[in-house]
Amino acid sequence: MTDNKNFYITTPIYYVNGVPHIGTSYTSIACDVMARFKRLDGYDVRFLTGTDEHGLKVAQTAESQGMQPKEFADKISEYFREMNTVLGITNDYFIRTTDEDHKRAAQALWTKLLAKGDIYLDKYSGWYSVRDEAYYQENEIETREDGSKIAIASGTEVEWVEEESYFFKLSAYQDRLLEFYEGNPGFVMPKGRFNEVKSFVSGGLKDLSISRNSFDWGIPVPDDPAHVMYVWIDALTNYITYLGYPDMEGEGMKNFWPADFHVVGKDILRFHAIFWPAFLMSADIPLPKCVYAHGWWTVEGQKMSKSAGNVIAPQDLVDNYGLDQSRYFMLREVPFGNDGDFSRAALIQRMNSDLANALGNLVQRTLSMIFKNCDAQIPAHGDFTNEDQAMLKLAGTEMLEKTRKHLEAMSFHRALEDIWFVIGEANAYVDAQAPWGLKKTDPDRMGTVLYVLAEVIRNLALIIQPVMPDAAAKILDQVKVSEDEREFSFIGQGHRLKSGVTIDQPQGVFPRYVEPEEDAA
C-alpha cells in the first residue's frame, strides 16, 4: 500500500509517427481507471500522457508527407488529444517533447549525467532500427532471404550505422541495477517480465549510444549542438519534466516523485526497466516504484497493421459499441500483462451477458419495482434478516477492500471478476427473495428487500465509476445520489440511501447489442 495520499501514474508518450488505435487506447484506459480509482479513494492524483515527437523516423515521415517535422508533430499530437476526449481519459496534463520546458529538463538531465562522468564521446557502429528507434546487438538480428536484416524481437528492418556519438556508461550500472532489482521485488510487474529484465541485465550491459549527429530533429546536446539526443533519453525525461525537473525541491518532484506506476507495453520494457533507472541513478534521482508491462493486442487473431487494414480507431470502437462497454471489455477480457485478442464476438458476448443481463438487469428490475410498487420512492426498511445483512456486507466495504487490493497490482480483471460475483449474488438474492410476490402478502418485507437491493446498486455504481464512468453516473443519478457523495468513502456501512427519496423513471443503462441491419448495398 502506498503510505502517502499522492499518486502519480504515466502512460508512455505516444509516437507521432503512429496514430491512435486500440493498442494505445488500452494503455490510456488502464491508466485512466487507476487515476479515477485513486481520486475517488481520496488521493491527490497526477496522471500524465502526451506525445513523443523527435527522432529520425518522425523526420522521415514528415518529409515523405511534404511537411516540416514540427508541423507534422502538431497534427498527429492533436489526434492523440482527440483520442483522450473520445475515450474519456482524465489525464491531468498532456506533454509534448517539443515543449520548451521539456527541452530544458532533458538538457538538465544530460548535464547531470555528464557531470557524473557517465557520458563520453566515441564512435558508434552497429545496427539500428529506425522504426523502433532502438539499437540492436548482433545476436538480436537475423538475415532475411533477400539479404536484408531485421530485429528478431520486433521484425523491423535494421540498418548499419556508423557515426560519432556520445555514450552513456550503462555497463557501469549492471551491478547496481541487479542490486536494486533484488531489493525491490515489485519494481517490474508482472513477475515473468521482471525475470526477463533481470536475465538480460545479468547477461551484461553495453554502453548506450545516446546522441546522433546525422540529422537534427531532436533536442540539441548541451554544448555540442552538432548532436541531438537519442530520442529515448529525451522521451523518458518527460516523466519528470511534468513535475518541474530540474527543480527537485518544487512541489511536483517533492510530492509526486517517485512515480507510482509507469505503465508501458511489453515492447518498451527494456527502456523503462533498464535504461531509465540507470539514468536516474546517475542523476541521483530516486527510481519509480513500479514499471508495469502490459501485453499486446491483436485483432481477430491478426497483428494490427495499416497494410492488413485492421487497425481499430478509438472513435470506431466507441461509435460501434459504446465507451463504457469498450473500456469494460478491454480490462475484463484479458489479465493485464497478458496478450489479448480483440474479437467482436467476445466484446458483444460481454456486452450482452455481463452488462445487459447481469448488471443492467439487476438495476432495471430493482428500480422498476421500486418505481411501480413503492410510489417511486426508496422504501423504508424493517429489520434486516441474515441474508439481507450478508448481501449488504458483501457489496459494502468488503467489495471496496478487494477492489483496492486488486488495483494495487493493476489486476483489473480480478477486480471486475469480484465485482461481478457480487452482481451475481445480488441477482440470486432477488430471485430467492422474489419481492414481486410480496406486494400483497408482506409489503413491509418487500420494502426491505428492495431497499437492500437499491443500496447494493448504489455501492456497485460507486465502485464501477472508474471503469464505466457514464453508466455509473446514470445509475447514481437515477437513485439520487448527489455528486458530492460519490467518493469511495461513501461505500458501505454508515452511508445509506435515504428512505422516502423519489427516484426517476428507470432508464435502461446497458442495452443489449443488436446487430445493425445489413446495408442495402
CA-wise closest residue to 76 among 23, 14, 31: 14
Taking the C-alpha atoms of residue 401 and residue 301, their distance in angstroms, rounded to an integer, is: 36
Taking the C-alpha atoms of residue 65 and residue 408, their distance in angstroms, rounded to an integer, is: 44
Q: Give yes or no for residue 280 binding ligand MSP (CB under 6 A).
A: no
Q: Give yes or no for residue 18 binding ligand MSP (CB under 6 A).
A: yes
Residue among 86, 87, 229, 268 that touches ligand MSP (CB under 6 A): 268
Stretch that binds ligand MSP, among 13-21, 357-365, 428-436, 503-511 (CB under 6 A): 13-21
Complex with ligand MSP: residue 15 or 328, whichever CB lies closer: 15
Residue 231: partners with Cβ closer than 8 Å, 6 or more residues away: 52, 54, 55, 56, 133, 218
Stretch that binds ligand MSP, among 261-269, 351-359, 397-405, 436-444 (CB under 6 A): 261-269
Grid coordinates belonging to 326:
469498450
Give strand pairing partners of 336: 338
Smallest gap from Cβ 20 to ligand MSP, in A, equals 9
Backbone angles phi, psi at 132, to 5 degrees: -90, -10
Q: Give yes or no for residue 12 binding ligand MSP (CB under 6 A).
A: yes
Grid coordinates belonging to 235:
522521451
Taking the C-alpha atoms of residue 298 and residue 223, their distance in angstroms, rounded to an integer, is: 45
Complex with ligand MSP: residue 56 or 268, whichever CB lies closer: 268
Residue among 29, 45, 113, 264 that touches ligand MSP (CB under 6 A): 264
Q: Give yes or no for residue 91 binding ligand MSP (CB under 6 A).
A: no
Residue 168 CA to its chain's centroid (Å) = 30
Smallest gap from Cβ 168 to ligand MSP, in A, equals 16
Q: Give yes or no for residue 335 binding ligand MSP (CB under 6 A).
A: no
CA-wise closest residue to 509 among 390, 306, 321, 359: 359
Stretch that binds ligand MSP, among 12-20, 98-106, 168-176, 499-507 (CB under 6 A): 12-20
Give strand pairing partners of 142: 150
Smallest gap from Cβ 92 to ligand MSP, in A, equals 17
Complex with ligand MSP: residue 342 or 510, whichever CB lies closer: 342
| CB closest to ligand MSP, residue no | 265
Residue 495: partners with Cβ closer than 8 Å, 6 or more residues away: 485, 489
35-54 mask for ligand MSP (x: CB under 6 A)? -----------------x--
Collapsing DSSP to helix, strand or coil, 122 comes out as: strand
Q: Give yes or no for residue 23 binding ligand MSP (CB under 6 A).
A: yes
Residues 217-256 that bind ligand MSP (CB under 6 A): 235-236, 238
Complex with ligand MSP: residue 297 or 321, whichever CB lies closer: 297
Complex with ligand MSP: residue 119 or 264, whichever CB lies closer: 264
Q: Give yes or no for residue 460 binding ligand MSP (CB under 6 A).
A: no
Number of residues this chain uses to bind ligand MSP (CB under 6 A): 20
Q: Give yes or no for residue 105 binding ligand MSP (CB under 6 A).
A: no
Backbone angles phi, psi at 380, to 5 degrees: -75, 160
Complex with ligand MSP: residue 14 or 110, whichever CB lies closer: 14
Which amino acid is located at 231 in the chain?
Answer: V
To the nearest 10 degrees (0 to 180), the angle between helices 412-433 and 397-408 is 160
Residue among 7, 8, 14, 328 that touches ligand MSP (CB under 6 A): 14
Taking the C-alpha atoms of residue 92 and residue 105, their distance in angstroms, rounded to an integer, is: 19
Complex with ligand MSP: residue 175 or 339, whichever CB lies closer: 339
Q: Give yes or no for residue 304 binding ligand MSP (CB under 6 A).
A: yes
Stretch that binds ligand MSP, among 10-18, 40-48, 67-75, 348-356 (CB under 6 A): 10-18
Taking the C-alpha atoms of residue 73 and residue 97, their distance in angstroms, rounded to an integer, is: 10
Size of the chain, expressed as the number of residues it contains? 521
Query: Mind giving me the DSSP string for 240-284?
Result: HHTTTTT-TTSHHHHHH-S-SEEEEEGGGHHIIIIIHHHHHHHTT
Complex with ligand MSP: residue 74 or 267, whichever CB lies closer: 267
Residue among 140, 267, 398, 442 that touches ligand MSP (CB under 6 A): 267
Smallest gap from Cβ 269 to ligand MSP, in A, equals 9
Query: Mind giving me the DSSP string for 161-199?
Result: EEEEEEEE-GGGGHHHHHHHHHH-TTSEESHHHHHHHHH
Q: Give yes or no for residue 297 binding ligand MSP (CB under 6 A).
A: yes
Taking the C-alpha atoms of residue 518 and residue 521, their distance in angstroms, rounded to an integer, is: 8
Residues forming contacts to ligand MSP in the complex (CB under 6 A) are: 12-15, 18, 23-24, 26-27, 52, 235-236, 238, 264-265, 267-268, 296-297, 304
